Each structure stands twice: as structure tokens, then as C-alpha cells.
Amino acid sequence: MTKTKKLVLYAMLSALAYVAMLVIHIPVSFLTIDPKDTVIVIAGFIMGPLASLIISVVVSLVEMITVSNTGVIGFVMNTLSSAAFCCTAALIYKKRHSIKGAVVALAAAVLAQTVVMLLWDWLMVPLYMEHATREMVVGMLMPLFLPFNLLKGGINMALALLLYKPMTSALRRAGLVPRSEHKGKINIYLVIFAVVLLAVCVILALILAGIL
């Protein structure tokens, strides 16, 4: 892949991740579930974990400048969250380049993101959330932060499994990604698993948000 194509991919996928965050989101208390990590992790599957890290930083920076009101702390939080999920998945998938490897990679990414963000919330929420004490944050870890991060990760995992092949196929047709020597068929069991996972996570997220 040439440097020009890489730059185009970085720009295109960063813009797509930003738009996904802007257009599709589920507010849960003062937190938000959005699908930007789906795009970022697919970028990592295509170009490696470094691509996920770079796009995580770029999208979080643009988000801070344009729509976020949490400043630098929010920027760091968003970068850590996306990088924990996407870089973990991309690193494992790079070593286990298969359907099973993708599922394992994404499942590990959900756990990595959840652990990282629970630590971050415990450390940092009292510093930027007015009137929030350490004891209040500890009280929110299990009923709010834990399910929020698991559901956010589950939604992005399911979407990544569903959208990876269509996105890579479109990028190959555009000449931005090299042609694959292996023309794998759609795995119907994987699709069913991803659809069920997505439906369950979305319903639970809507319940957590008080919408259902």
C-alpha cells in the first residue's frame, strides 16, 4: 500500500468514525454509547494497531474541538477508550488472522476497554465531574460504568463483525486496499451471532438509558 493510499484511508476512516459518533449515539446518564470504535477497529484490522491508535487520537481530538465540553480530560478519556478496544483487537487479529481470531480479538477488546475505563473512571471522574466524590464514583462502578462499557464494547464488536467484509470489499473496489487472495464466503453463523449480540446489547443499553 502506497503512502498516498494510506493517507487517504486514514482521512476517510477518521471522517467516517467521527460522523458515526456524531449521528448515532445512545445517551446513558452523562455517558454516550456510539459506534465510532467499529470504524476504528476495522481500520486496525486492515492496517494494523498503529492505525487504530492514530485514528483514535485524531477522532478524539476533533471531537474535543467540535462537540465535547469535557476538554482535555474528555480527549484523553475518549482516546484511551477507543485505543484500549481497537488496538487490543487489531494486535490480536494481526497474529490470528481468521474468523475465529477476529471473534477472540474483539471479545478481548471488550474486556480490555472495560478494565481500562473502570480504572479511568475511578481515578478521574471526581476530578472533572462537579460534586462527585470518590465514594460516589465507587458506588457507580457496578450499576453504571461496568454495564455501560460492556454494552458499548458489545455493540461495537457486533457491528465490526457485520461490517468488516462489506467495508473491506468496498475499499478493494475503490483500489484503496489490496485484493485478497482468499475469497471467503459469508459465515452465516457469524452473522447470526453478531445480529443477536447487537440486538441484545442495544436493548440492554436502551434499558440502562431509561428509554425502554
Please give the Cα distance from 38 to 201 (Å, whole number). 14
Q: Can you give the residue range of the structural domain that contains 83?
A: 3-208
| Structural domain count, the chain | 1
> What are the pLDDT tens digits along the chain (212 aa)?
788 888 999 999 999 999 999 999 899 988 899 999 999 999 999 999 999 999 999 999 999 999 988 889 889 999 999 999 999 999 999 999 999 999 999 999 999 999 999 999 998 888 777 777 888 989 999 999 999 999 999 999 999 999 999 999 999 998 888 876 555 677 899 999 999 999 999 999 999 999 98
User: Which CATH number is 92's domain given?
Assistant: 1.10.1760.20
- Rounded to two decimals, the pTM is 0.94
Residue 129, Cβ density class (10 Å: 0-12 exposed, 13-18 middle, ≥19 buried): middle
| Cβ-based neighbour number of residue 187 at 10 Å | 13
